[in-house]
Structures are given as C-alpha cells and as structure tokens.
Structure 1
Amino acid sequence: MSAPEVKKVGVSELEDIEHQQPQLLANDADEEFGGTEERKKLEKKLLRKLDLRLSILIVIYILNYIDRNNASAARLRGFEDDLHLKGQEFNTLLSILYVGYILMQVPSNMLLNYMGRPSIYLPCCMMVWGMISCLTGVTTNFIGALMTRFFLGFWYKRSELGVRTAVLSCGSLISNAFGTLIASGILDGMDGRLGHSAWRWLFFIEGALTIFVAACAIFVLPDFPSTSHGWLSALEVRLAEKRMVEDVGVSDETADAAQSSQVAGLRMALTDWKVWCLALALTSMVISLSFNAFFPTLSATMGYSRTVTLLLCAPPWGFATLVAFAVTRHSDKVGDRFWHIAIPLVFGIVGFVIAASTMNTAAHYVSLFLMAQSYAAFITFLAWVSNSIPRPPAKRAVALAFINAFSQLGNVAGSYVWPTGWGPSYRYSYAICIATNGFCILVCYAFKRHLEQLNRRFEKREQEEGLPKGFRYLT
C-alpha cells in the first residue's frame, strides 16, 4: 500500500480487518512445525522457556512499585520533618513522579522500538531509577527530593513489563504487601546507623536492591523473537514470531500498510473516541485508587505504633492479590470485562463509605481490605483496553501508550486528595474517591453498550453475507 493509501485507513476499515481475523488465522497451516499436535508440544516447550525467563519481570515490577511508594513509608519516620516540608509539599513530591512518567511515556516507547533490545533497555532504565531512588536518601530539602522523584518518573516504565497478564499485574499488589514489611524492618532496625536516619536507609537499601536485580536481568530477559539467539532453536523462533502475528490478528502484509507511518498511527489513535473514553475512565479510576500512596497514613489512623502500622498494611494487599487473580482469571474464562470491573469498584465504594462513617478500629481495618481489592478492577480494565483497541499495530501501540500516560493525570490529582488537614477521618478524601469510582463505572457502562452495538453490527453482516462467526469485542 502506498503512503497516500495509508491515510485512507479508517476505524471502520480496521474493524473490518478485526472482523476477518478468524478467517485469516483459519487459513494458516502448521505443517512447518510437523502438524497441529507437534506444534502444541513445541508451543508448551516454548512457553516454559519464556515463563522461566520472564518471571524476573515480577521481581522487577515489585521493586518498581516499592521504589515508587517508599516515600509514604518514610513519612512515618521523619521524612517530612527532616526535609522541613510544609503545606502541600509532600503531596507535590508524590505527584511530580507522574509528571516525569507522562512526559516520557511515548518517547520511551519510541526509543525501545528503535533499539529493539528490551533485555538492555529495561535493565538500564531500572538501574537509573534505582540510583535515583538512592539519591533521594541524601537529599536535605524539598527541592532535592522533588528533583529525584521527578527523574524517577522518567524511567518508571510499567507498560513495558507486560501489564496485560494477571500474574504480572498482581506484582504491583504483592509489592504493597512486601514493601511495607521490608520498610518496617528497615525503619525499625536502621535508625541512626552510620549517622543516617531510618528513612534515608530505606531509600539506600531499596534502591541498591533495584540496581542489583537490574544487573541480573540483563542476562535473563529475552529480546524479540527475531533477535533471541542461543536459548531458542530456529523452529522455536519461527513459532514465537508466528504467535505474535496471530496475537495481532493481522498478517504482516496487512499490518505493514498501517505501520508504514507512525504519524498515521498517532492520528488514528487520537481521532478514535474509544481511546478517549478508555483514557477518561482509567483516569477517574486512578484517582479513586490514590489511597494506595497513602495506605500507611490511613493505617496509622487506627492508633497503633509505627512498626505495627506498617505490618498491618500487608494483609489487605495480600487479600487484594488473591481477589485480583481470581477476578481476572474468571473474566478471561467467561469473556466478560464490564462486570468484573464494576463489582470490585462497588465493593471499593463500600469500603470508602465505611471508612468515612466510623473510626472504629475493626470497621476501619475491614474498609482497608475492601479498598485494596478494588485493584482487581484496575487489572481487568488494562486487559479491556488491549482487547478494545482496533488494528493496525501502529495505532494500537500509540493508543496504549496514550491511555496509560493520560491516566497518570489521575495520580497527579490523587496526590492532593489526602491532605493532612483532612485527617484523621479523611471524609472529604473518601467522598472524592466514591465520586470518581462511580463516574468510572458509568463511563465503562456506556463503553460496554457501544461495544455491544458494534458486535450486533458484526452479527448482522455475517447473517446478510453468509459469513462464519468472526471477531467480537469483549464487553
């Protein structure tokens, strides 16, 4: 397809390509792998190799979130006092990380695509954010802490770690549990060592651990199939490449036309209202999930010591991990997205209502469990985004990066939802979370109804033209 023709590719044509996906895949033969049964055996072997190597991403993901959220734990042990923070300065320290994240999301995707070596790019980024996290421990004022948190956002790249898999996404929840346990040990045992405050040791140790894991990851992480050598046979490389084509749902020849222009992909993504709808819903949800960054603070309102407070943070996130894994697995099994997003969000609203209504210790702790489990909706939503973005790959890549970056505005806003002046009840904060949660559910419902209309259009076309059942959006 020539360059002028690329500009003619529209949303309806891309949906037609998606609609024809089963027919395209049905014509693909597996003779080169020795037949269907032999391909299944080879595929299982390939997946085992991939799982072993990619399991390090779970560790990376956990450390990623720990580095991002350690300021909240440090707040309990003199972080604000030592840096002489006042007013909204602590909240600004949290929000500035997401500014760097937003600015670098798309450029980072472009650089990774240009390099074609995730095994080098991701660990190097990880080393940089680990070093920056360490530097936070030597800051002495608001400006120093602000700059380190800002540049940490430049290198925190979640989308490159495969958030579409439930297991990996649950790493973010596990990190909240492990992070508070690790922080509890460091803050309780390292205060005054070598003349440094406990909160400084928190940044030193967790940053150093991140750097160490990053160095190991260079030798473990795989690259793209075409550039992975030594640990894959030629036939396994071919199968891996074919699986990627099948996952995209369009042959290379078809996709090349749309991929020939990144500008065309950007234009198609930004002119598709579904992209904006998903971005708006996710942003609203992220605001409601802002309690995550202040979880130790909310736990502290129950009146226990600082060490016990951090230990109490772990069980809710352990529970949330189990719920998220169950919800996402069931969502995939039944092919539903909306209800598996809405129901956890509703339970989250119940948690917010309980927390806003009473300061009873038992009730308040139960509310933390209900809040934490609402992350199951977030993980399911990420899968819905991937399911709902039309081809070509150029548009899909830009759309995913844009939605992810746009939603970080919710983290920027959420950093100011929990001012100290609203504590210890934080009723206004919970009210904001209830409102944004409810708005997200309404937007998701409207999106679900639209996808149902598109599916009915596909079904009508199949009946009129006598075609077999083809592509359907997951609703």
Structure 2
Amino acid sequence: MGSKFMDYLRGTQNKPGERALVQKLDFFILTFCCLMYFLNYLDRSNLANAYLSGMKEDLNFKGNQFNQINTVFTVGYTIGQVPCNVALYYIKPRIFFPSMMVIWAGLTMATAGVHNPEGIMAIRFFQAIAESSTFVGTHYILGSWYTEKELGKRSGIFTASGLAGTMIGGFIQTGLNSSMDGLNGLAGWRWLFIIDGIITLPVALYGFFFFPDTPSTTTAPYFNADEKALAISRVPEVDDRTPVSLSFLKRCFRSWYWYGFVMLWIIAGETESFSSNSLLGLYMKANPTHKYTRAQLNNYPTGVPAVGIISTLFWATLTDFWGGKRYLVGYWIGITGVVTAAMILAPGASTAVHFGAYYWAGSVYACQATFFAWANDVLRYEEDSLRAVVIASMNMGSNAVNAWWSIIFYSADFAPQFTKGMWAMIATSIALAVWTTGMLYMTVREERKRVLTREESIPEKSEVIEEKV
C-alpha cells in the first residue's frame, strides 16, 4: 500500500515524455488558473472583510443590504456561467481569461469610490459576469488536458487557491487598517479594493502570453510537435459539435448528465452556505455576549477556508488514489452538515462549540473540486460541448438558487443564531447523501454500458480483419 501510494504521488504518467508534458501543464496551466482563482476569490471575499472593517458604518448600511449585494452578485454570476464557457469555443482561452480579469480588476478598483450600498450593487453585478468565467472555465480546461487519474488532485489545488484568497483577504484587511487607514483621505477598506485590482493586472498579462489554450488548438512555443500529439492522445477522441444550435440543446436536455450533475451541485452548493455567506464573521459581529475587535473580526474567520483547503486537498488526492471515487465526499458532507448544524442549534451551546462547528463546516468545500472532477470524469467520453455546458450549468444552477436561498435562510439580520438556516442545512445535507447515491447508480450503469459496447465491438473488428485476409 505504501509503495503504491508513493508511486501515485510521483505521478501516474507512463508514456514516453508524458511526465515532462504534465510538468509543463502544471506550470503553465495550473499556475495561471490558481493565481486567477486566488484573485477572483480575494475580490469576492474582501467585500465581507470591508463590511466588517468600517464600510458598514461609512456607507450607512441598513437591514440586509449586505445580503442584497451578495444576491446581485450571484445573479450576475449566474447569468455569466454558460455564455462564458460557450465563449471558450469562439475566443481563445489565453485571450478570454485575461480580458475578463482586466474587466473585473477595473470594477474592483471602482468599488473604492462608492458612496452608498446601491453603488456597490451596480458594480458587483457586472463584476460577477466577468468573474463567472474563472471557475467553470478552468474546470473545462483542466478536463481537456488532464487524465482521470490526474484530474482530482489538480482540481483540488485549483479550488484550494480560491480558498486561500478568502483566507488571506482577512489578513490583508487587518494590515491595511493598521498601516493605510486614512492615507490620502481614504479608509482602509477603500485601499483594499484598489490594491486588489492592481495586483490582478500582472497575472492577466502572464496568461495572455503563456496560457496554452486546448490540446487541439494550442500554439504555445514551449510544446514541441511530439508533446502536442501526446496531449491530444491522452484524452478520449469524441465528437466536437457547436454548442450553439437547436439540435445540441435537445441532446443536452434529453441527457441525464445535465439533470443529474446540475441538481447535485445545486444541493451541494447550499451545504457551503456556512462559509460562502461569511456566517462566522456575522455571528461574531452580532454576538450579544462577546465583543470582538476589528482585527479579530477579520482574522478569526480565516480558519474556515483554512480547514477548507486541507479538506479539499485531502479528498481530491484520496479520490484520485482510490480510482476516482468522488461520491465519497457526498457522504462526508452529508454527515458534516447535519452534525455542525445540530451543534449550533443545541440549547445552551457555548461560543467555543459554535466556533468549532463553523470551522468544521469549512470542510464541505471539498465538494467543489471532487464534484466537478466527477463530472469531467463521466463526461470525458461525450462530446466536448456537452461537457462544457454541463459544467457551466452546474454552477449556474447552484448560484440561481443561492441568489434567494441566502436571503431566506442566512440574512445578516438573522445573526447570530441563523436558526432557519441551520434547519435548512440539515435538510440539504440529507438530500445530498440521497442524491449522491442516485448519481453513483447512474454512473456505474453508464460505465457498464460503455464496457459492454467496447467488448461487443472487438469481435466485429476481428471479423473484418479475417475477411480482408
């Protein structure tokens, strides 16, 4: 077992030149995508950091306006999902991704000049459309280059980079509050948005010059002819038909893949609500018995994405090692959601118990990497356009539900208990375990069909050879 695991960690490549190829992919694709997602999440999470660090008071926020801004962002993010992934068919990824980064960097810096919550809402809507390109677009690209045995770990590293953006954002805000608050007449939270935008631009430039597009379209100078041919041979040869047609839409909506994976991610996405809605920070700010400093409000919640990073890398690597058993994460999250919600609902539970529950709940972030890797695994034998649309639709469906789910169950004025949200978490966690079981049945059945079809085609090929002889 130990030897097998060490072999796995060293890599699964066995074709001549394959290890060198994968090392190049990791350097040029994974590095850029991780930096892009890190900055994407840094921009996103820093709204909560700014809210906790003076923006609420400076802009005179009322009621659940903070949640309304998140909802507006979610609406824009939802609208952008499928169009952004379809755009990758018509615009080279090395052009499309950096262009979206420049747009959201400019809008992030513009946030520093707002004077009311409504101004932030307008900016965040368009910023969300630009940022929607990153998550689903990257998962589509990773599935185009990496094999089933490599994909989970890379998806995990990519997801962890976004969580790192969430975690580091709190520390950046703490540093700015102590060193730049009031500089040139600007509050520390305003400087946060300016700096976020500035550091995004060099990464966009890097992607423009070095991102390699897809195996069949790459013109990257660092790949030789043999490496380009090897990259194409590593993924199954499938039909490639345009995603903008009525016949394609009919095929898509008749497929169980679309319904199965979209519903899987809708349910799983709501199990992330503890973390994605910044509930620990809101819990601390509204806590009736403990008053926390501004530094504590920014720093303590960073433990949630820290747990998410560890959990994501653990489960992504483990499911790769176990041959792609991504469904195991669905059961882990089901248990985690029920138990942590029950801990918060428990009468008389101490603040320490509540903190423990919120930190443990961060482990549900593991489903991002594993479930999108699962979709890539299952759909790698289908036409590329179907895989692109299913992956985009997964995130679109999740965000469409989250746009109103967060207001109903996790509104900022429900803090610190979020009682309705805890019961909703228990319900969605149980539903996720049930749906995961159904998806496991369907994917196993599909794999058996594929194996039978392959075995039946072998005798036919033999007969043709015999006739020719």
- The normalised TM-score by structure 1 is 0.81
Q: Does 1:86 align with 2:62?
A: yes
| Range that drifts further, 383-392 or 70-79 | 383-392
The 1:284–1:131 alpha-carbon spacing in structure 2 relative to 1, beyond 3 Å, is same
Q: Can you list the C-alpha shifts for 1:57-109, whole angstroms capped at 9, x where unaligned?
A: 21111110111121111111222232232233211101111211222222222
| Range that drifts further, 303-312 or 371-380 | 303-312
1:234 corresponds, among 199, 203, 225, to 225
| Structure 2 residue aligned with 1:382 | 372
Q: Can you list the C-alpha shifts for 1:28-77, whole angstroms capped at 9, x where unaligned?
A: xxxxxxxxxx9834121222222221212211111101111211111112
| Structure 1 residue aligned with 2:124 | 149
1:174 Cα deviation after fit: 1.8
Distance 2:349 2:459 in 1: 61
Q: Does 1:310 align with 2:283?
A: no
Q: Can you list the C-alpha shifts for 1:181-223, whole angstroms capped at 9, x where unaligned?
A: 2222223432222111222112111122122322333233223
| Structure 1 residue aligned with 2:147 | none
1:395 corresponds, among 363, 370, 386, to 386
Cα pair 2:271 2:425 within 8 Å, conserved = yes
CA RMSD of aligned residues (A): 2.6
Distance 2:230 2:451 in 1: 32
Distance 1:260 1:379 in 2: 25
Distance 2:405 2:176 in 1: 27
| Structure 1 residue aligned with 2:317 | 329
Cα pair 1:288 1:432 within 8 Å, conserved = no
Aligned counterparts, 1:92-241, within 5 A:
92-115=68-91, 117-156=92-131, 157=133, 158-162=135-139, 165-225=155-215, 226-241=217-232
Cα pair 2:67 2:412 within 8 Å, conserved = no
Distance 2:426 2:243 in 1: 44
The 3-state SS of whatever aligns with 1:114 is: coil
Aligned sequence identity (%): 25
Q: Can you list the C-alpha shifts for 1:243-295, whole angstroms capped at 9, x where unaligned?
A: 3xxx2x235xxx15x55974333221112233123212211221221222314
Distance 1:296 1:421 in 2: 13
1:460 Cα deviation after fit: 6.9
2:333 corresponds, among 344, 357, 365, to 344
For 1:143, give the aligned amino acid: E
Distance 2:333 2:459 in 1: 38
The 1:410–1:288 alpha-carbon spacing in structure 2 relative to 1, beyond 3 Å, is farther
1:457 Cα deviation after fit: 5.3
Cα pair 2:101 2:201 within 8 Å, conserved = yes
The 3-state SS of whatever aligns with 2:17 is: helix
The 3-state SS of whatever aligns with 2:344 is: helix
Cα pair 1:269 1:396 within 8 Å, conserved = no
1:372 Cα deviation after fit: 0.2
Cα pair 2:284 2:416 within 8 Å, conserved = no
Q: Can you list the C-alpha shifts for 1:284-309, whole angstroms capped at 9, x where unaligned?
A: 22122122231422354464312023
The 1:415–1:233 alpha-carbon spacing in structure 2 relative to 1, beyond 3 Å, is same
Q: Does 1:441 align with 2:418?
A: no
Cα pair 2:64 2:413 within 8 Å, conserved = no
The 1:190–1:415 alpha-carbon spacing in structure 2 relative to 1, beyond 3 Å, is farther
Gaps of at least 5 residues in structure 2 are 1-12, 143-150, 461-469
Distance 1:462 1:394 in 2: 23
For 1:250, give the aligned amino acid: E
The 1:263–1:409 alpha-carbon spacing in structure 2 relative to 1, beyond 3 Å, is same
| Structure 1 residue aligned with 2:360 | 370
| Structure 1 residue aligned with 2:7 | none
| Structure 2 residue aligned with 1:361 | 351
| Structure 1 residue aligned with 2:9 | none
Cα pair 1:288 1:414 within 8 Å, conserved = no
Q: Does 1:59 align with 2:35?
A: yes
The 1:313–1:395 alpha-carbon spacing in structure 2 relative to 1, beyond 3 Å, is same
1:284 corresponds, among 242, 257, 267, to 267
The 1:424–1:120 alpha-carbon spacing in structure 2 relative to 1, beyond 3 Å, is same
The 3-state SS of whatever aligns with 2:303 is: helix
Cα pair 2:63 2:413 within 8 Å, conserved = no
The 3-state SS of whatever aligns with 1:223 is: coil
Q: Can you list the C-alpha shifts for 1:321-347, whole angstroms capped at 9, x where unaligned?
A: 122111111112223222222113312
